[in-house]
Structures are given as C-alpha cells and as structure tokens.
C-alpha cells in the first residue's frame, strides 16, 4: 500500500480518537504476529512484484507477501504496483488498455537496481536482471525467464498455497469504475480460494473493499480511506470483515507532520480487536525504523527490505507465526531480592505500548526447566513501566538456597503473549 495518501485522509489522521465498540476477540490475525510482509516482494532488494522477488524474499526470511493487482483489458488480474507498465518494464501503456498477451511478454525487471528499486537512465551494466525475461540472458540457477515477467495473480496463489498474502486492489485515481471492476474480478478469482484463511484484501478505495467483501465475505479485508477515517475520527467501525488496520507511520500535510502510528494508536486498534500492519510510504526505512515499530507493538511491517527486516527480527528473537521467539510486547524480569522466605521480583514491560499485562513468574534453579523454587502472579497496570511480584519460597527451595546460591532464572509468562516465555537470569541478593 505504498503510495501517497489522499489529502482527505491526511486531514483525519490529525485526530486519533479512542475507538469504541466490541472487540473482535476471535481475530486470527492478532495471533499471527510478527509478520515480515515483503512489500511488492521487497522492491528495494528484488524486482517489484515478480515471482523471482517473492521466492527470494521468502527464502531470505519474510513470512508474508504483499502485492498489488490490476486487470488487463481482457480481464486477467496481474500483479503490478502501478496501473501502467512504464516504471518497471520495457513497455509503455495503461494496464487496462493492454491484453494479457501483450503484458506477458514484458520484462518486469528491466529497470531494477539493487538497493534502489526501479531507476531509469543508468548504464545497462547497473541492471543485473535486464533481459532474462526476454531470453537475452540466462536466469539464475533455480529460476526461469517467466519469473522476471509480469505475473498473473492466479499463478502466485498456486505457487504459494501456504504463505499469507496481502492483496491490494489498484486502480487509477481518476477512474473509480476501474477499482470496482478490479474488485469484482478479484472476487470471482478468489471464490476458487475462499477456503484459504491466510489472505487479506485491501484498497485505498473503500467502495472497492466493500464490494469485494459483499461478494466474498469469507475472505477478510483491511479498510480503505473511508473506513480508516471512520475508525480514527469517531471510533466507529472501519467496515465489515475487517481484521487489520494498514496505516503509514506519518503523513506530511503542508508543513505539518502528522503522526499516525504511535504506541497509543496501536493499542487502541488492539483493544478494538484489529491487528496493525504498517506500510512505510515516504518514511525512512532502516533498522531504526524497524526497531521503533517493533517496540510500538505493531503486528507486521510491509518492508521494501524484507531481508533486512528478517535480520532484525532474528537478532531480537522476535516471535513469528511459527511461535518461535518471544513477544516484543510482553513482560520480563529485571532483578530479584530475597527477604527471608519471600522473593521480590522486579518486572518491566517490553515495548513502548501502554497496554496492561498480567501473568505468572517462576523462579527456577539451573535452567528454565529446572527445579521450581517459587511461583507467583503479577499485574502491570496500563501505562505503568514496571511492577513487583512477591513469591513465597517453599521449604525445599529454602533448603536448596541455604546450601549455596545456584543459578536462578526468572521465567515470565505474559497472558496473551505470543511465543516463548521471557527467561532472564537474576541474582538473589
């Protein structure tokens, strides 16, 4: 969803009101975090929206694909961010004025420059994949010439049957009927995939989202401009079938920089039962940006650099859809103090979100599965940075401690947190 926001949307982003209404408690997308969503397949690292990009991004650590669809003149849904072929291919023209036969011959990596997306006007040597699609150069091992051409959506869906895919309906801004046509063609195609539970459909055009949901209500959606405005302004519903809010970090309106994604706005969305996926638009995309968003407790980032994001997630041991890793928004132990037969454990929140937490904390000897010394409960109020838990030692634990001070680990299980418990080594002082 990387493009400039309409001015009308920018105006509503200045007022982030608290949402109301029933939470969607059964929303599975809240449990899928953390999502490394390869935006256009990772358009800064690989040629935008190509099968080559999708395969390379997943191999590099992405776990979700984000892509865009428009229809050709003869009704074939193709995967391309723009509504024309000029920016990324060796062709020219509007997609909806070309046939699939014409589009299928184009080189969709023609202008790709690693690290820079599509750039025109450079020496031919700067384009490492130019000519593979047309047979002038051999493809890399394991790939075919067709992996560098414009892809049909149906072929992407068949190639990645178990990969979550975020599908954005595109259209020309001055042609709302095109959005509706693309929404209806997408609904017809996805009827064949209606049993999949790992697809989200989105568009800036709310009418297109609503029309798609009307035709295929089993596939969840993210709201368009009008739906997000309704939620952020008045706390109303963002629309039927919504499972995630997909928003930018900031938007600049004139000389004012509007902050859209904040710890508070993410928490408000979560309270209402919606996941939060962030697209970076014109915001800086780097390690610091990723770190900030992770700490703000978003559920996914639509990354132009999915390989770089995957490296950050691995380094921080952030939980993924497979449940491996720890939740960056939970609670961990900081230290412990022994007072006779009682241990006071200091706990702190992970991440910068204000949400309250509760759960259990255990002290174990040796390893996270070693002898249980004590167990207790904790509660961290909304907005608080830290709290204390008081744990009473049993007789066996007291005898063990009298014989020396073994290595003690605090195992913190936060209610609702994804992945593994937070395990911290503490000294019993």
DSSP for 251-284, please give it. Answer: EEETTEEEE---HHHHHHHHHTT-EEEEE-TTS-
297 torsion bin: left (phi>0), alpha (psi -120 to 50), beta (else): left
Q: Is 422 helix (H, G, I), strand (E, B) or coil?
A: strand
Q: Are 301 and 295 in contact (CB under 8 A)?
A: no
For residue 251, pLDDT over 90 is answered with no
Q: C-alpha 67: how far from its chain's center? A: 13
Q: Given the structure tokens 């939970």, which residue do they identify?
A: 330
pLDDT (mean) for 403-415:
88
pLDDT at residue 151, as a whole number? 98
Of 54, 241, 40, 242, nearest to 157 by C-alpha is 54
CB atoms within 10 A of CB 293: 24
Give the span between the Cα atoms of 242 and 326, in whole angstroms: 27
User: What H or E segment, with its residue span, contains residue 373?
Assistant: strand 372-380
Residue 422 above 70 pLDDT? Answer: yes
pLDDT in the model for residue 91: 97
pLDDT in tens, 149-190: 999 999 999 999 999 999 999 998 778 899 999 999 999 999
- Fold exhibited by the domain 331-426: Immunoglobulin-like (2.60.40)
Residue pair 149/49 in contact (Cβ under 8 Å)? The answer is no
**What is the reported pLDDT for 23?**
42
Task: State the average pLDDT for the chain.
Answer: 91
Per-residue confidence (pLDDT) for residue 326, from 0 to 100: 97
Q: Beta partners for 204?
A: none
Of 228, 234, 239, 262, the C-alpha closest to 6 is 228
Query: 330 to each of 86, 295, 356, how far by Cα in Å?
Result: 46, 10, 9
CA distance 143 to 140: 6
Is residue 14 predicted with pLDDT exceeding 80? no
DSSP 79-106: E-SSSBSTTTSS--SBGGGS-HHHHTTS
Please name which of 98, 67, 66 lies closest in space to residue 85, comparing C-alpha atoms: 98
Rounded Cα distance, 382 and 399, in Å: 38
Q: Is the peptide bond before 76 cis (omega within 30 degrees of 0)?
A: no
CB-neighbour burial class of residue 262 (10 A; exposed 0-12, middle 13-18, buried 19+): middle
Query: Taking residues 34-50, what's their average pLDDT?
Result: 98
Instruction: Please compute the mean of the pLDDT values over residues 115-120 and round it to a whole number.
Output: 95
Domain 7-315 and domain 331-426, same fold? Reply is no
Confidence check: pLDDT of 13 > 70: no
Instruction: Show me where the domains of the chain are located.
Output: 7-315, 331-426
- Residue 146 vs residue 366, higher pLDDT: 146
Q: What contacts 155, CB < 8 A, 6 or more positions away?
A: 51
Give Dmax (Cα) for the chain: 82
What average pLDDT score do residues 350-366 get? 95
Residues pairing with 377 in the sheet: 360
User: pLDDT digit string (tens) for 54-72?
Assistant: 999 999 999 999 999 999 9
Return the half-sphere exposure (C-beta side, CA atoms, 13 A cut-off) of residue 311: 6
pLDDT tens-digit map of 302-338? 999 999 999 999 999 999 999 999 999 999 999 999 8
CATH 3.40.50.300 correct for 7-315: no
Rg (CA), the chain: 25
Grade residue 253 by pLDDT with cuts at 50, 70 and 90: low
Structure tokens at 29: 């997308």
């Amino acid at each position: 969803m990387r493009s400039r926001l309409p001015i009308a949307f920018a105006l509503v982003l200045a007022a982030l009101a608290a949402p109301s209404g029933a939470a969607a408690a059964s929303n599975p997308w809240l449990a899928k975090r953390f999502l490394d969503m390869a935006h256009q397949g990772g358009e800064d690292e690989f040629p935008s929206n190509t099968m080559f990009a999708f395969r390379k991004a997943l191999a590099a650590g992405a776990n979700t694909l984000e892509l865009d669809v428009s229809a050709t003149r003869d009704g074939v849904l193709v995967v391309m961010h723009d509504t024309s072929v000029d920016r990324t291919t060796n062709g020219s023209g509007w997609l909806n004025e070309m046939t699939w036969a014409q589009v299928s011959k184009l080189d969709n990596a023609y202008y790709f420059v690693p690290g820079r997306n599509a750039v025109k006007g450079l020496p031919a040597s700067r384009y490492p994949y130019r000519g593979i699609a047309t047979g002038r150069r051999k493809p890399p091992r394991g790939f075919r010439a067709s992996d560098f051409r414009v892809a049909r959506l149906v072929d992407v869906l068949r190639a990645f049957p178990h990969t979550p895919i975020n599908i954005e309906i595109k259209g020309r801004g001055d042609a709302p009927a095109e959005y509706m046509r693309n929404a209806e063609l997408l609904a017809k195609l996805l009827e064949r995939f209606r049993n999949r539970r790992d697809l989200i459909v989105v568009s800036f055009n709310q009418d297109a989202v609503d029309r798609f949901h009307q035709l295929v209500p089993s596939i969840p959606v993210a709201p368009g401009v009008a739906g997000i405005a309704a939620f952020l302004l008045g706390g109303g519903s963002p629309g039927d079938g919504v499972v995630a809010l997909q928003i930018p970090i900031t938007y600049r309106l004139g000389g004012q920089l509007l902050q859209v994604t904040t710890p508070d706005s993410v928490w408000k969305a979560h309270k209402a039962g919606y996941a939060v996926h962030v697209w970076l638009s014109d915001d800086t995309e780097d390690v610091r940006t990723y770190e900030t968003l992770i700490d703000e407790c978003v559920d996914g980032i639509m990354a132009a650099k999915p390989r770089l994001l995957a490296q950050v997630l691995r380094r921080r041991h952030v939980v993924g859809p497979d449940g491996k890793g720890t939740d960056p928004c939970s609670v961990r132990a900081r230290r412990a103090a022994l007072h006779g037969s009682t241990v006071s454990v200091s706990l702190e929140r992970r991440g910068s979100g204000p949400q309250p937490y509760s759960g259990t904390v255990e002290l174990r000897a040796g390893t996270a599965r070693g002898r249980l010394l004590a167990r207790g409960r904790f509660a961290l109020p909304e907005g608080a940075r830290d709290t204390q838990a008081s744990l009473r030692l049993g007789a066996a634990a007291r005898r063990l401690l009298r014989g020396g001070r073994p290595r003690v680990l605090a195992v913190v299980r936060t209610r609702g947190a994804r992945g593994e418990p937070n395990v911290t080594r503490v000294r019993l002082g």
